[in-house]
A and B are shown apart, each in its own frame.
Chain A
């Protein structure tokens, strides 16, 4: 089954404790992206990757890092989480960006206290 998986689905952590949210897709997609969803703001892009070893900032990259060492995986790293990073996070992938459908993971709800 074609899918995007994320882990963990729920995470409660404390300020400053490094964490990684994993994302994996099994569709051989070149393009992957991370979004955060906040009430009243819709979804905003954090980082994206055009292909292996090619990543770039989206609209809200501060406080986040990513890497793309393999085509299928695109982890999101919060090196020193803060309460303003409490949000719902989605990973997405598509064959190509722009007019192609993006497939979304189920989401990771992160709470930073």
Chain B
């Protein structure tokens, strides 16, 4: 079945460092891809998304490109801040008619940014 694999955490970076969180997926058809972020004690919120191959999603300095040839959707940010400390989830949307339109999540990557 469809699945998402993302790099293990925790990831610890210094402020202003470059961030990459790897995400690869297995899916039938053409899913939409998402990055969600979960700040401590809160629910998940959408960070960015891409709905077709070669689309680039971007928000708050974060970017990710939908790469169908490598089945990847890596998250990047050029200069992280302490406020970016959170857990990041890569997800894909299942097909409506055989997967109930659910989001299929990776296991999450915890990011800690030190001043």
Contacts and interface: CB of A to CB of B under 8 A. Distances in A.
Interface stretch (B10-18, B73-81, B105-113): B105-113
Nearest to A40: B107
Nearest to B105: A42
Contacts of A81: none
Contacts of B44: 43, 90, 92, 104
Interface string A54-65: 001011000000
B52 to A, nearest CB: 9
B43 A102 contact: no
B85 interface: no
Contacts of A102: 46, 103
Interface string A99-111: 1011011110000
Contacts of B34: 101
Contact of B43 (A59, A90, A96): A90
Interface string A1-37: 0001000000000000000000000000001010100
A45 B103 contact: yes
B68 interface: no
B100 A107 contact: no
Contacts of B102: 33, 45, 48, 58-59, 97
Interface of A: 4, 31, 33, 35, 40-45, 48, 50, 56, 58-59, 90, 92, 96-99, 101-102, 104-107
Interface of B: 4, 32, 34, 36, 42-46, 49, 51, 89, 93-96, 100-103, 105-108
